[in-house]
Structure 1
Amino acid sequence: MSRSVSNLTTIVKEIADEMAQRPDRGEVANYIPELANVHNKRFGLVVVDGAGNVASAGDSEMPFSIQSISKVFTLTLALGLVGDKLWQRVGREPSGSPFNSIVQLEYERGKPRNPFINAGAIAVTDVILSGHQPREALGEILRFMRFVADDPSIAIDESVAASEQRTGFRNIALANYMKSFGVLDNPVNHVLGVYFHHCAIAMSCRQLAMAGRYLAWSGVNPSTGHSAVSAERARRINAVMLTCGHYDGSGEFAFRVGLPGKSGVGGGVLAVAPGKASIAVWSPGLDVHGNSHLGRVALEALSKRMGWSIFGV
């Protein structure tokens, strides 16, 4: 093991130990019944470098509901299908509003502010669904995520999907509102079925860090050489992750961590240190914006100790 890899492994374990001692853990998402049952003491951290070395600590092999982190992968797929025409339907600006807000949609005539708030991700899902049955579209999403993670075992947690479908009234309202403005082409119930299911994909920190490698290395998986997207598209996805990946906490995340990242209300965060590492952290307790509290604290510590902020040391 090289000295730098050994150093990274030590730092990852130190951060996990520090997080285990902290009393400020945030609150688990209780509006999705299945997520409310997750133990708040869980914490996992995985860092994968360009050579495929893995530094991990904590509950790094335990699957959790990735929730909105799936929106990074659906955005990648939709851009592959329709290219920059996607931006006619979905904006690229930070929202400054809660991730499930309907206020902005009304003001902006049904066009979501960005692809990572719920309304935007529903519109992106509609693009992937076009020309497919819901089951086929979901299969495409799963196949892509298994491909970039190089792991055929990644699957949907059906109990979480069912839980979301029973309680997702706000998302149903958002989808119907967009449909009224012609932003959605497909039947609302089909779009929402695919959306709820891709948000319910379960992955471990290791699987998630592996899946994010193409964003850290200009669209290419450095271990296999397989290209997922062009370098330019990977750069643009990273840019939207930096500015919009943590809802109205995105500025704080950029300020403190300095890396492109995408959070999910399951407590996961996927972060990218371009040219250096793909990182996944999981801590189920959320802050007031719906982002993992200790996930952000851990990533801030990692970025600082490794000198990985894109804004310099």
Structure 2
Amino acid sequence: MDLQEIIDDIYLALQPRLGEGKVADYIPQLAHVDPRKFGMAIIDLDGRIYKAGDCDEPFSIQSVSKVFTLTLALGKHGETTWNRVGREPSGSAFNSIVQLEHESGKPRNPFINAGAIAVSDLVLAGHTPKEAIAEIVRFVQYLADDPSITIDPEVARSETATGFRNFALANFMKSFGRLEHPVEHVLGVYFHQCALAMTCTQLARSGLFLAANGKNPLTGHTVVSSQRARRINALMLTCGHYDGSGDFAYHVGLPGKSGVGGGILAVAPGRASVAVWSPGLNDNGNSLIGSLALEMLANRTGWSVFGAPAA
């Protein structure tokens, strides 16, 4: 199987459709991104890299960062993390407040906004907001083996200035006693983690430990236990695309986490880590062309966790 040929074919096939979907203009800084951008990178367990398009152009990873903060929170708090946030698909929009009211302020899973805010509160434990933000950046730099990864300050400012729904979610959780730190501190961490700027290549490298039973195969460092890697992958598969998670599992069949910046990190366990970026979103807030690219990749490679397609 020639992965470079496959990724080149996908890029060529999707060229006529670039620009489809709606850029996330409710975050003003993201509204300026060219909707025709497309990048894709695959890194296998031997470190071979396969690239196409704008794969080395940094973009705002937004909610893809929730995979990394969840990993940090689990490292700090272990299974007690689940006292604060659930593990079930939401079936609601990523920024919905409705379920929080029904469930006494406990978010349904760590990948919707409310859940990620709760996880930010856990990461903040024992730290100032600046220290927690620095820890998140260092962790992602460590995973990617790339000290150049940074937060885009303009995106962070843009999110802070317009994040009224997230302020409402955080205050609602605080009213139920679900957050231990001041709302402003928790959201400072949350907005900055979402403003991480990465390329597809860096993002694919960062997710490689999830494809290799918790160990970075290129450095030999154990990031998490194999059991924890499996569980994070399970959450990505069931909850990683908000209320479009079932559709993504149906069409792609890989653990994945999307972000409204148009990025998706996908994991082919035992095989590779994949990152794709296309800013136009579908109705569920997931990259429209990125999802199509991953479906084409899964079909060509047989990497779906549910089995290879019929010959």
For normalisation by structure 1, the TM-score amounts to 0.98
Q: Residues 62 and 259 of structure 2 are in contact (CA less than 8 Å); yes or no, is this contact kept in structure 1?
A: yes
Aligned to 2:295: 300
Alignment of 1:51-66 (within 5 A): 51-66=46-61
Once residues 19 and 278 of structure 2 are traced to their aligned partners in structure 1, the CA distance between those partners, rounded to angstroms, is 11
C-alpha distance in 1 between matches for 2:66 and 2:190: 9
Q: 2:38 aligns with which of 33, 40, 43?
A: 43
Structure 2 match to 1:177:
172
Q: How many angstroms apart in 1 are the aligned matches of 2:121 and 2:262?
A: 25
How many equivalent residue pairs? 308
CA distance in 2: counterparts of 1:280 and 1:115, whole angstroms: 20
Identity of aligned residues (%): 65
Unaligned 5+ segments in structure 2 are none
CA deviation string 1:209-234 (max 9, x = no partner)? 00000000000011111111000000
Aligned-residue offset at 1:188: 0.4
Partner residue, 2:107: 112
List per-residue Cα deviations over 1:197-248 (Å, max 9, x = no partner). 0000000000000000000000001111111100000000000000000000
Q: Distance in 1 between matches of 2:12 and 2:124?
A: 43
Deviations 1:20-59 (A, max 9, x none): 1226710100100000100010000000001100000000
Q: Distance in 2 between matches of 1:302 and 1:287?
A: 19
For residue 278 of structure 2, the aligned residue among 276, 283, 286 is 283
State whether residues 254 and 268 of structure 2, in contact with CA within 8 Å, keep that contact through their aligned partners in structure 1.
yes
Structure 1 match to 2:253: 258
Distance in 1 separating the partners of 2:221 and 2:172: 39
Deviations 1:239-294 (A, max 9, x none): 00000000000000000000000000000000000000100000000000000000
**Secondary structure class of the residue paired with 1:46:** strand
Query: Cα deviation per residue 1:154-196 (whole Å; 9 max; x = unaligned)?
Result: 0000000000000000000000000011110001000000100
What are the equivalent positions in structure 2 for 1:181-260 lying under 5 Å apart?
181-260=176-255
Closer, same or farther in 2 for the Cα pair 1:143/1:24, shift >3 Å? closer
1: CA distance, partners of 2:228 / 2:108: 19
RMSD, aligned CA? 0.7
Alignment partners' CA distance in 2, 1:226 and 1:13? 32
Deviation at 1:17, TM superposition (A): 1.3
SS at match of 1:94: coil
AA partner of residue 253 (structure 1): F
* Residues in 2 aligned to 1:161 and 1:23: alpha-carbon distance in whole angstroms: 27
Is the 2:18–2:38 Cα contact (8 Å) retained in structure 1?
A: no
Q: Which residue of 1 aligns with 2:83?
A: 88
- Partner SS, residue 55 of structure 1: strand
Deviation at 1:19, TM superposition (A): 1.4
Q: Secondary structure at the match of 1:272?
A: strand
Aligned equivalents of 1:182, 1:85: Cα separation in 2: 16
Cα offsets for 1:111-130 (capped at 9, x unmatched): 00000000000000000101
The secondary structure found in structure 2 opposite 1:271 is strand
Distance in 2, matches of 1:43 and 1:84, equals 38
Q: Tell me what 2:5 maps to.
A: 10
Tell me, in whole angstroms, the C-alpha distance in 1 between the residues paired with 2:28 and 2:219. 39
Using the alignment, how far apart are the partners of 1:184 and 1:103 within structure 2? 18
CA distance in 2, matches of 1:253, 1:13: 22
Contact kept, 8 Å, 2:174 with 2:183, in 1: the verdict is: yes
Q: Distance in 1 between matches of 2:3 and 2:290?
A: 17
Could you list the runs of 5+ residues in structure 1 that have no partner in the other structure?
A: none
Aligned residue number for residue 151 of structure 2: 156
In the TM superposition, what is the alpha-carbon distance from 1:137 to its structure 2 partner? 0.4
Match of 1:98 in 2: 93
Matched, 1:77 2:72: yes
Give a deviation string over 1:60-109, Cα, whole Å, max 9, x none. Answer: 00000000000000000000000000101100000000000000000000
2:139 match: secondary structure: helix
Give the counterpart letter for 2:75 in structure 1. Answer: G
Q: Distance in 1 between matches of 2:278 and 2:28?
A: 17
1:122 to 117, 122, 125: 117
Counterparts of 2:295 and 2:5, CA distance in 1: 16
Selected match of 2:134 from 122, 127, 139? 139
